[in-house]
Amino acid sequence: MTTTTTTTTTGVRLLPNAELPPYTYIPGSGTPHPIRDPRGHSHNQKSRPVKPLDADSWADNRNYLLAVDLFNLGYYWEAHEEWERLWRVCGPDSLVGRFLKGLVKLSAAGVKVRENSIHGVRRHAASAGEVFADVAADSGSDRFCGLEFTALQFAADRAAQLSYRKDLPVGVPLRVFPFVLQPEPLPFG
């Protein structure tokens, strides 16, 4: 895989040439549903095929890399959807599927921040931390798909404990967490 790196305040973009949506969907905010609404940013777009995520070759999985970029840039709903597509093809009970479930829950916590639902943030973030702890124990490794379990658990714990601004602009992708997901080693360079 050959790509160029782009470093931003949100970390290194893993797919710097991937087109980003013009807004992030925030349920209940008036932003058009990306798929169902004719004004949605992904309405009538054909879905890209999803290749199952393999823990050893994660750097070759475009869907995974795109979801990490979306998450780090504050597109939490879109990251959630991308990780959920991967979760479906990997199988929810597989180790990779369970790991993806943790990422889905962490991105759902980001969506809940944008919805001003602190209870939802805490519930999803705490659940993500538990999933990461379980997968770490079962994997026998400190890193999975390029991400360090200790950092993921810490991030989930922090996300559950923080206070968040309530006056965030609707639809504008903003990183609400004080961390980024930075897989290592980087899949390029």
Range of the domain at 81: 50-166
Q: What is the pTM of this model?
A: 0.92
Q: Where are the alpha helices (DSSP H) in the chain?
A: 62-72, 76-90, 95-114, 118-139, 149-161
> 95 in a domain, yes or no?
yes
> 181 in a domain, yes or no?
no
> 5 in a domain, yes or no?
no
| Predicted pLDDT of residue 45 | 86
Asked if 90 and 104 touch (Cβ cutoff 8 Å), the reply is no
> 126 in a domain, yes or no?
yes
| Predicted pLDDT of residue 51 | 95
- Helix 118-139 vs helix 95-114: angle between axes, to the nearest 10 degrees? 160
What's the total number of domains in the chain? 1
> 162 in a domain, yes or no?
yes
> 10 in a domain, yes or no?
no
Average pLDDT value for residue range 4-25: 78
> 15 in a domain, yes or no?
no
Looking at 48-52, 83-87, 118-122, 174-178, which range is the least confident one?
A: 48-52
> 134 in a domain, yes or no?
yes
CATH number of domain containing 146 = 1.10.3450.10
Asked if 177 and 156 touch (Cβ cutoff 8 Å), the reply is no
pLDDT tens for each residue of 57-103? 999 999 999 999 999 999 999 999 999 999 999 999 999 999 999 99
Task: Indicate the pairing of strand 11-13 with strand 6-8.
Answer: antiparallel
